[in-house]
Amino acid sequence: MSAEEAKNIKKDSMKFTYVVVILFAMALGSRQGRAQQVIRLWPESVSTAEKDNPTLTLFSPDSAKAMDAAIIICPGGAYRGLAAHEGEDYARFLATYGITGIVLKYRHGGGGYKYPDITADAARAIRIVRARAREWKLNRGKIGIMGSSAGGHLASTMMTHFGDGDRNSPDSVERVSSRPDFGILCYPVISMGPIGHRVSREQFLGLTPSAELVQLYSNEFQVTASTPPCFLWHTFEDSAVSVKNSLMFAKALEEHGVPFDLHIYEHGRHGLGLGDKPPFANTLPWTKDLVAWLKGRGVIH
């Protein structure tokens, strides 16, 4: 064998090894957090249309990594659609840290729905996860909620408008609390007022909501000492949803003694999400800050 032939064989071998490594990484990323179960929130619905049937989709971590925490994820989309990169991508990412990511497909303005159907879906989602925690090997006290943009408004609504449950209900799901144990808000819409997002407000409350409804769902005014701990992040450059939304919510949390972790990054457009795809080698800085916060609160270890 000539030196040139040996050199070519070595080169081809290196290429083959590189391809195998890449394929293995892709396969590993695709296995992490595979969707394993889809659950209808309202099984009694007689409609067969997808827009009328909100669901929960579970993305479970590998059994070797599984923790006992779950996070319900509310994708953004200005309350007129649902952004996949703020739903399934988050769930797959969380699964790499042993967290069960649960994507909520809630009803929204794009399907002809507004408040209170939207908030009813989110409250029902939390109750279902808590009611089935033992079945899914979860801790009933480690059920969080996460949302981006308008989904952040929905998540913050659950953090400020939760209920203890109706103990006399014939439905076992409705007997449990809808309070999340912690919240994660990504460039969230918080206010229904001037600093909020006009399209999200119109899709959520309609074109001419009463002043009382605008105030009630401007969640910077609805924080209490019972609001759960929160991780928030936003960018200064966000031109779609003002950073004032996160700042005002953090101020309200501080005033009521609610623990929070606030991160304002100078650069970045609205709707960034993870900024990456599986196997998540180049996620944005906020993800590292989030993981540190979750570890600090004992959600993961």
**What pLDDT, in 10s, does the model give residues 122-137?**
999 999 999 999 999 9
**35-296, what's its fold?**
Rossmann fold (3.40.50)
State how far the Cα of 152 lies from the Cα of 83, in Å rounded to an integer: 12
Q: Does 157 score more than 80 pLDDT? A: yes
Judging by DSSP bridges, how do beta strands 55-60 and 34-40 pair with one another?
Answer: antiparallel
Is there a contact between 164 and 202 (Cβ–Cβ < 8 Å)? no
**Residue spans per domain, the chain:** 1-31, 35-296
CA distances from 15 to 4, 7, 97, 99, 178 (A): 17, 12, 31, 35, 53
pLDDT mean over 195-214:
98
The Cα 240–Cα 166 span in angstroms is 39
89 vs 36 pLDDT, higher one: 89
Tens digit of pLDDT for each residue in 255-299?
999 999 999 999 999 999 999 988 899 999 999 999 999 999 999
User: Can you tell me the mean pLDDT for 138-162?
Assistant: 98
Residue 229 DSSP class:
P
Task: Look at residue 189 in the predicted model and tell me its pLDDT.
Answer: 98
Tell whether the model's pLDDT for residue 150 goes beyond 50: yes
Backbone angles phi, psi at 166, to 5 degrees: -100, 105
DSSP category for residue 81: S
**Using one digit for the tens of pLDDT, what is the confidence trace for 15-71?**
433 333 333 333 444 445 667 799 999 999 999 999 999 999 999 999 999 999 999
What is the pLDDT, as a whole number, of residue 19? 33
Nearest to residue 97, comparing CAs of 294, 296, 284?
294
pLDDT of residue 79 exceeding 90: yes
pLDDT at 36: 79
pLDDT digits (tens, 9 = 90+) for 224-256: 999 999 999 999 999 999 999 999 999 999 999
pLDDT of residue 117: 98
Q: Is the pLDDT of residue 197 over 70?
A: yes
